[in-house]
Chains A and B, each alone.
Chain A
Amino acid sequence: MEALKGLKGFKILEQKMNHGFIELLVDKNEVFKTLETLKKTQSLRCNNLHCISGVDYVDYMEVVYHLYSYKLGHKIALKVRVTKEDNELDSAYPLWKTADWQEREIFEMYGIKFNGHPNLTNLLLTDDFPGYPLRKDFPLTNNEEWLLQDNQTAKDYGLPDDLSLLLKKNVKNNGEKK
Chain B
Amino acid sequence: MGLLDEKIIKRPNIISAAADKVFNWSRLSSLWLMIYGIACCSIESFAIGGPRYDVERFGIAGRASARQADVLLILGPVTKKMAPVLRTLYAQMPEPKYVVACGSCAITGGAFQDSFFVIQGVQKVIPVDVYVPGCHPRAESFLYGFLKLQEHIRNETLVKGRPGPLKEPIIVPEALSVGQKQELGEAMKDEEKV
Contact = CB atoms under 8 A, between A and B. Distances in A.
B114 A167 contact: no
Given A140-B114, A177-B164, A158 B120 contact: no
Nearest to A177: B164
Contacts, number: 53
A167 B116 contact: no
A170 B80 contact: no
Contact of A170 (B81, B119, B127, B161): B127
B84 A158 contact: yes
Main secondary structure of the interface of A (DSSP, over half): loop
Interface residues of A, number: 23
B7 interface: no
Contact of B88 (A138, A163, A177): A163
A27 to B, nearest CB: 33
Given A167-B125, A170-B127, A142 B114 contact: yes
A163 B124 contact: no
B167 A176 contact: yes
A151 interface: no
Interface string A143-155: 0101100000000
Nearest to A175: B127
B81 A126 contact: yes
Given A159-B83, A159-B87, A170-B165, A125 B117 contact: yes
A170 B117 CA distance: 24
Given A159-B83, A163-B91, A177-B165, A147 B124 contact: yes
B115 interface: yes
Interface string B134-171: 00000000000000000000000000010011110100
A142 B167 contact: no
Contacts of B64: none
Nearest to A176: B167
B68 to A, nearest CB: 20
B124 A146 contact: yes
Given A142-B118, A170-B127, 11 more contacts: A126-B80, A133-B116, A142-B116, A146-B120, A159-B84, A163-B91, A175-B123, A175-B167, A177-B161, A177-B164, A177-B167
Shortest beta-carbon contacts, A-B, top 5: A177-B164, A163-B87, A141-B114, A170-B127, A176-B167
5 contacts: A133-B116, A146-B119, A146-B120, A163-B91, A167-B125
Interface of B: 80-81, 83-84, 87-88, 90-91, 113-120, 123-127, 161, 164-167, 169
Interface of A: 125-126, 133, 138-142, 144, 146-147, 157-160, 163, 166-167, 170-171, 175-177
